[in-house]
Amino acid sequence: MTDRDDVPFDLASMRKQYRAEGLSETELAATPVEQFARWFKQAATDGGLFEPNAMIVSTADAEGRTSARTVLLKHFDEQGFVFYTNYDSRKARDLAENPYVSLLFPWHPMARQVIVTGVARRTGRDETAAYFRTRPHGSQLGAWASAQSSVVPTRADIDAAYAELAARYPEGEQVPVPPHWGGFRVAAQTVEFWQGRENRLHDRLRYVERPDGSWRVERLSP
């Protein structure tokens, strides 16, 4: 047990009062992607967020053991939400066994969250290569230097691998796309828009995909 005197803050009393204005069904766009685009524009311009495209990706392996991590959203459209990773990483191994995934955008300064659930599939190699070419040279080398999620003896081993690659592919020389690296597109099945409200009576409106590909909206109790 933790001694209460050792805790630097009274966690039970830490709370913020959220805004009075909320989110109504009449304000929603026709599709969740359109609504996400509206909120994302506000998050990126007026939200005061360090990385508005940062999202928590939660996965589970074949035995149901969960894991979560923060990655960056790199594209979104009606086909889904795209991020990139090492295909040998834990998240990618989980998705190979169990493609169901959850994405959470924690826009705390705006008292907003967006929660996406859906199915992840790998992007095509042409799409992956096109994105890889937009990455800074150092990030391209980093995709080769890191055997993501594997145990490494020391930081020096990582730095040495990077230095070797930097010598092989100096600035200005094209770096090949790693075969073990690429994207995932999450095709949404539900998308919840969460707006903080006073007295913890938050607005939660969730789009749910119908079998014909259209969407219905349901309100969830806070």
- Residues marked active site are found at 200
Per-residue pLDDT tens digits for 170-185 = 999 999 999 999 999 9
Mean pLDDT of the chain: 93
Crossing angle of helices 155-168 and 137-145, in 10° steps, is 120
Q: How many residues does the chain have?
A: 222
Per-residue pLDDT tens digits for 143-152 = 998 888 888 8
Rounded CA gap, 46 and 62, in Å?
Answer: 40
57: closest CA among 66, 70, 73? 70
Helices (H) and strands (E) in the chain, counts: 5, 9
Please give the full DSSP string across 23-78, using - where no structure is assigned.
--GGG--SSHHHHHHHHHHHHHHTS--S-TTEEEEEEE-TT--EEEEEEE--EEET
Q: Percentage of the chain surpassing pLDDT 70? A: 94
Contacting residues for 77 by C-beta, under 8 A, at least 6 apart:
33
Q: According to the model, what pLDDT value does residue 190 have? A: 98
Q: pTM to 2 decimals?
A: 0.89
Per-residue pLDDT tens digits for 90-142 = 999 999 999 999 999 999 999 999 999 999 999 999 999 999 999 999 999 99
22: closest CA among 204, 211, 216, 219? 204
| Mean of pLDDT values over 182-200 | 96
Amino acid in the structure at residue 100:
Y
Q: According to the model, what pLDDT value does residue 5 have? A: 59
Q: Kind and range of the H or E element at 167?
A: helix 155-168
Reply yes or no on whether the pLDDT at 158 is more than 80: yes
